[in-house]
Structure 1
Amino acid sequence: MADTLTAAALTLKDIAREAGVSLATVDRVLHNRPGVRPDTVRRVKAAIERNAFQPHVAAAELARGRARRFAFVMPSGPNPFMQQIEAYLGEMSAWLSARRLGVEMVATDVFDHSMLAASLEALSGDYDGVAVVALDHPGVRAAINDLVDAGTKVVTLVSDVPSSRRHHYVGIDNIAAGRTAGALVGRLVGQRSGKVAIVAGSQGLRDHAERIFGFNQVMAAEFPGLSVLPVLEGRDEDERSEQVLARLLGRHADIVGLYNVGAGTQGVAKALSDAGRDKQVVFVGHDVTALTRRLLLQGVMDAAISQNPGHEARAAVRVLLALARGEPILHEQEKIRIDIVMRDNLP
């Protein structure tokens, strides 16, 4: 995996080899035992520093045979982007095994705060770390805080709950993503005036709420000829998203732009096509999946705001592992980038 630090896979033997000494000598240096020449001590410590190696934690875990369990609390239902994250976690099995890590999936309705909170509460005491696609709700915040208080490391994934005591957020800057979508819709609509529709999964999801906020910022400031309609909620479900958008298209013949904030993309595209407006309405959504790739190639969808699901999967595991070991988080490595993907630059 390209963005995995080499240092993450280093062992004491690697340090010994680089320093040109025996494993026993490295052990003596680490434990400040006598009998090692000062020059040798300097070489060993220099090798450790160059590789950002965490010898005390790594050696202690190796001696104890310390295994760890992480849980990923993911949305139930057919969300293609979330399925990609789960697939990438599955591809990490050898990497995880080498570090004595177990990762288990917990599917729940992340749009229902009570069900999500109950799923989190059920994990208490069973896992070293939890990554959760979170709904920003007092009950969910309380469940996250309870896990943290019990000693579990908690990372929010894709959708954040910043007012909780979670340890870290892994995901894109969603306000910036929404602003990017707004700029694309406004510029692609061009000189036309009219209305713009927004379909979201739920405004209770922090990532969706922040994307809508950023989108509206740009619309209000830069495109006064476009009027943004009230947000529709489709719970990231194809059928529900299709129904709510079809009704809206029937009421407004002057819709010229559409921002799909989350999933439910197939339903959104079907509503546009059934209304005969798939080539008239500028359609910007999120994520590169088999479906959005096809819609981009067909010209139904104009652009996708993309984030790398493989990077998010790896980053979430690495951050949880660093937290569990008491190691520093490498923020620049774990920063998730926003990409704009159109038909002409499909990866």
Structure 2
Amino acid sequence: MARVTIRDVAEAAGVSVATVDRVLNGRVGQGSRSARRVEEAIARLGYAPSALSARVARTANSFVFVLPDGANPFVAGLAGAVEQLGDWLPFPGARYEVRRVDVFDGPRLGAVLTELAALPLAGVALVALDHPAVREGINRLAEARVPVVTLVSDMPSSKRERFIGIDNTAAGRTAGALMGRFLAERRGKVAIVAGALALRDHAERQLGFRQVLAEDFADIAVVEVREGRDEPGATRAATAAILAAHPDLAGLYNVGAGSAGVVEAVAAAGRTGAVTVIAHELTAANRTALIEGRIDAVINQDSGHEVRSAARVLQALAAGLPIVDAQERIRIDIFLRENLP
């Protein structure tokens, strides 16, 4: 192969030779669009005779996972899976970083994404909040030619490349079908606890749940929906308020995290066993609650599969390689205490 020249880099980046020279000699800010285009061209073509090319080689295969902060055990599983990507998917030179952000703070999450758009990254995966600032941050990354995938919770109105996660409407419908069958002899009232309905996965699960009840179990009524921000304490308070307002409540569906708070509130009200509880994610706490009969069913998504899928998809997008759809499909698991793995 012919040796790559500075003119080749200029043509690939769509800039002048003089601009490439200014970037190589540090006379253009690293966060500027021209600098990013030149750095991307250097990485893509393998242009070597410069100190800058060595820096690009170190950073152009860097990926960032933007995950919610807090003590959510499912998110902890996602973060742990990112840490293991180097062993699971040994792409040459690939580096993976986790950024923790308050996912319920749209402006803050959007600002973090905008900051990432100024870096020479190969891809970003994030748990998305349905907020204009988040959409704008995703779009800025796309404009900077940084591939973006949404993880667990989607934002299809943005310029993200792909969603990695379960069909959350189908997951909610599954919960509705389970609730209807569990309450076959009782019927009555049920309630929903969500982290935040601004999270698309939580909103879609609620929608699917209501759809099935309306279609197949018309004598089961959803009497209340409350938010707990995926925090056990806030979720416990929300659940306690629901139970106090509806002493004849027959079922609770927790569409997000914080299930420990639901279990505690039901127990404190003396309603364990009398209220059917359906939750999400097979965390250690939910597993114990299933075995003890405090939760009746858990709908699960494999956090490790989601993280590996996001990494594979981002690598493929960065390298212009095909994506195998069947490999990246995330399935919905249903666990009762009788079929725990």
Same fold (TM over 0.5): yes
Give, in angstroms, the shift of residue 125 of structure 1.
Answer: 2.6
Residue 93 of structure 1 corresponds to which residue in structure 2? 86
CA shift for structure 1 position 62 = 12
Counterpart Cα distance in 2 of 1:283 and 1:334: 30
Taking only aligned residues, the RMSD between alpha carbons, in angstroms, comes to: 1.9
Q: CA deviation at 1:225?
A: 1.3
Partner-residue secondary structure (3-state), 2:253:
strand
Instruction: Mark the CA change 1:166 to 1:110 in structure 2 (over 3 Å): closer, same or farther.
Output: same
Percent identity for Structure 1 against Structure 2: 50
Partner of 2:244: 250
1:129 maps to amino acid: G
Equivalenced residue count is 291
Determine the C-alpha separation between the residues in 2 that align with 1:312 and 1:234: 24
TM-score (norm 2): 0.82
Evaluate the alpha carbon distance shift between residue 285 and residue 60 of structure 1 in structure 2; reply closer, same or farther with a 3 A threshold.
Answer: same
Matched, 1:113 2:110: no
1:170 and 1:236 map into 2 onto residues whose CA distance is: 20
Corresponding position: 1:269 with 2:233: no
1:152 maps to: 146
CA deviation string 1:38-77 (max 9, x = no partner): xxxxxxxxxxxxxxxxxxxxx9779988441111100000
Gap runs ≥5 in structure 2: 2-43
Aligned residue number for residue 37 of structure 2: none
Report the alpha carbon displacement of residue 180 of structure 1 after superposing the two structures with TM. Answer: 0.1
Helix, strand or coil at the partner of 1:195: strand
1:58-77 to structure 2, matched below 5 A, reads 66-67=57-58, 68-77=61-70
Of 289, 297, 304, which aligns to 1:295? 289
Q: Is the 8 A contact 1:125 1:152 kept in 2?
A: no
DSSP 3-state at the match of 1:192: coil
Q: In the superposition, relative to structure 1, how do residues 278 and 304 fare at CA in structure 2: closer, same or farther (>3 Å)?
A: same
TM score, norm. by length of structure 1: 0.81
3-state SS in 1 of match to 2:125 = strand
Q: Specify the alignment match of 2:329 in structure 1.
A: 335
**Aligned counterpart, 1:278:** 272
Describe the shift of the 1:314–1:150 C-alpha distance in structure 2 as closer, same or farther (beyond 3 A).
same
Q: Please tell me the residue identity of whatever aligns with 2:166.
A: I
Q: Could you say which residue in structure 1 is the equivalent of 2:319? A: 325
Partner of 2:16: none
In the alignment, which residue of structure 1 is the partner of 2:14?
Answer: none
Deviation at 1:277, TM superposition (A): 0.6
1:129 is matched with 123
Q: How does 1:28-47 map to 2 (within 5 A)?
A: none
* Distance of 2:90 and 2:176 partners within structure 1: 43
Q: Are the equivalent residues in 2 in contact too, given 1:243–1:271 (CA < 8 A)?
A: yes
Give me the whole-angstrom Cα distance separating, in 1, the residues matched to 2:46 and 2:125.
22
Q: List gaps (5 residues or longer) in structure 1.
A: 1-26, 28-58
Match of 1:315 in 2: 309
